Amino acid sequence: MRIEELDSIITSIKSYLELEKASGVEEFYSCAAQDVATVQDGAAGGLAALRKEVLGCRECDLSRTRTNVVFGAGDPKAKLMFIGEAPGADEDAQGLPFVGRAGQLLTKIIEAMGLKRQDVYIANILKCRPPNNRPPLPTEILACRDNVRRQVEMIKPRVICTLGKFASQTLLGTETPISALRGTFHEYNGTKVMPTFHPAYLLRNPEDKKLVWQDMKKVMKEL
Ligand code: URA
């Protein structure tokens, strides 16, 4: 085998392990293939199985244009879960949620709350990127809706923070504007939901950061 081929295999294995780790898989055993066992607790095991299922999803046309499925990442037992809209170009390229400019701002918000990204769980309503970042279509939302519902059921967060109009309205099944939804707790299948502005909106409207911070203080109090 040529050194370049070996290098490429090692890089692929590394990326795979990083994605597995980001999805909650904590340990691998190396042994005979039929005995391969991954040590996980309930939440991580369920999420890893769901992730595997979603990685092969062909329920809508976004599966034709995606580079990677962006399942979600973080602590499978997180008390706080963030839910955004859909992957953008950076997320599609890396297979991880909120890794572009908006993601960097989300990381800052999480850290300002005294947490790390690994302490929370970050997901999106849609798991695949809409071409040119166009708004998700109703058929795509319908096709993907169960995935986020099952993630929430497995993670059982104490609080969900929905980021922006699309995630908030979709999860809560309402057309109320985000400016009216944010700042108070709502409910999704028995879990408290705090809608707030999307970090991408904050990049364009930094004066509203203080409102998001007010919302995050309410979340911190609830946690
Ligand atoms: N915007 C989102 O809603 N989700 C991402 O993962 C990135 C940007």
Tens place of pLDDT per residue across the chain (223 aa): 666 656 655 544 554 455 455 545 555 544 333 333 344 456 778 999 999 999 999 999 999 999 999 999 999 999 999 999 999 999 999 999 999 999 999 999 999 999 999 999 999 999 999 999 899 999 999 999 999 999 999 999 999 999 999 999 999 999 999 999 999 999 999 999 999 999 999 999 999 999 999 999 999 999 9
Alpha carbons 218 and 223: distance in angstroms, whole number:
9
For residues 88 and 129, the answer to whether their CB atoms sit within 8 Å is yes
Backbone angles phi, psi at 204, to 5 degrees: -90, -25
Q: Within a 10 A sphere around the Cβ of 60, how many other Cβ atoms?
A: 19
Instruction: Give the Cα separation of 20 and 27 in Å (integer).
Output: 10
pLDDT at 27: 52
Q: Where are the domains of the chain?
A: 31-222
* pLDDT reported for residue 23: 46
Q: Where are the alpha helices (DSSP H) in 121-177?
A: 138-155, 164-172
Predicted TM-score (pTM) of this structure: 0.82
For residues 2 and 196, what is the distance between their CA atoms, to the nearest angstrom? Answer: 51
CA 2–ligand 1 middle distance (angstroms): 39
C-beta atoms surrounding 176 within 10 Å: 13
Query: 168 alpha carbon to ligand 1 midpoint, in Å?
Result: 13
CATH architecture of residue range(s) 31-222? 3-Layer(aba) Sandwich (3.40)
Most ligand 1 atoms within 8 A of CB, residue of 71, 83, 91 to mutate: 91
Separation of CA 200 and ligand 1 centre (Å): 8
Q: Which residue has 């939804």 as its token pair?
A: 181
Ligand 1 pocket, CB under 6 A: 84-88, 91, 97-98, 100, 102-103, 124, 200
